[in-house]
Structures are given as structure tokens and as C-alpha cells.
Amino acid sequence: MDVPTADHATVSRIIRSRRSIRHYRPDPVPAALLEELVDLALEAPSSFNLQARSIVTVTGEEGRRALAEATGGQPQPREAPVMLVFVAESAAWHGDRGDVWETAVRRGAWSEEFATASPEDARAFHEDLRARGLEREYAVKDAMIAASFLMLAAQAAGLATGPMNGWNEDLVKQAIGVGGRDDLHIALLMPLGRPAEARLHPGRRDRALTCFSETYGR
């Protein structure tokens, strides 16, 4: 598939200009723009197209205060007008995903045969993951892909983000109303808003140290 030069240049610029921001202006994010950014994040691919990830948008003062406490007092939840919590749903394959199969067939993306086989295929795949202790890992992976989509979409819209580390998962769950849910996992916290600081590119390691051909380390 040919990619127009202008599109490639735009995507390249967005990726290379994105920085992780810690301090934010209080300007609200328009509701329509926030909805569009979340929609773009949900375009991310997921295993078996189960879409076993959700996004909780937290804009209220009480919720952001709770997230600030969950992060040990980091400034982002207090300053950013929006906090995004990416939730991984490791037990989603247990539930009814008939809407997924039906939509794929209706759009012509999947054949009836493929859609009919998918529930059993997904079940077998995830039971194997569970047996190997990898159920949570795979759900978190899908949530992180969605988070990456949102970061780039936000950058293109002139907004800043910054994936956060250093938070207490139990407290985050309580803040978004899912305390005690062992089937749900917090993949990432992400502030969203107008930046109140400018950050320089810290650089990346030489490609020879991290990019290899055919086998690792060569």
C-alpha cells in the first residue's frame, strides 16, 4: 500500500516531537475532542479482536485527588484537567463477545466460518495463557497498545501526555470504582492536557545497541 508522502511526514513529525510532560495547565479539554481521542485509542488492535481493554476518563476534582494519592503525590493528577486510566480485562474471553464477531462479519472483515470458530479458538488460547500465568500480561499488552495510539493522537491535536509510573494499583482501582476486582488490572495512568512546560528530547541510544538483524545481539 502506497502511503502519501505528506501523511508519512506528518506521522513522523508527531512521533519525533512527542515528549512526556509532568506539568499541565488547567485549561479544560473540550468534551468532543476528548471523545475523539478515546475513539482513536480504541482503534488499536487487540488479541482476537476481543478488545479486552477499557479507558476510564477522570476529570472531576475528587477522582483526580484520589489518583494523586494513588501515585504518591505526583503532580500530574492534580494539574492535568484529564486523567486517563487504561484498564486491562484479563477475563474478557469468558464473557459474551458476540457483538465483536457479528460486527466483523457484517462489515465483511471476517468470514462466517472464521467468526464461528473464533470463540473456541479464543477460549483455547486464553486457557493456555492462564495455565502459564500469562493471562494478565496479554491483557495489559493490549491496553498499552491503545495507550500508545492515544498518546500520538493527543500530540497531533496539540495536547500533551505522559505515561506514568509509580502508582499503587489497589488505590487506583478504588479511585475508579473497581476495588477488589481481580479480573481487572491497571495497565497505565496518563495525564492529558495543555503542557505547562517545554521538555527537550533526551536522546535515544545508538541504533547499533538496540536494533539487530535476524538474531538478537548481531
Tell me: pLDDT of 218 over 90: no
Tell me, what amino acid is at 199? R
Tell me, what amino acid is at 121? D
* Strands, E assignment, 6-150: 53-58, 82-89
Neighbours of 169 (CB within 10 A): 12
Residue-wise DSSP of 116-173:
HHHHHHHHHHHHHHHHTT-HHHHHHHHHHHHHHHHHHHHHHTT-EE--B----HHHHH
pTM comes to 0.95
19-207: CATH topology is NADH Oxidase (3.40.109)
CA 159 to chain centre: 16
Tell me: pLDDT of 3 over 80: no
Give pLDDT tens digits for 172-208: 999 999 999 999 999 999 999 999 999 999 999 999 9
- How does residue 2 score in pLDDT terms, banded at 50, 70 and 90? confident
Q: For the chain, give the mean pLDDT.
A: 96
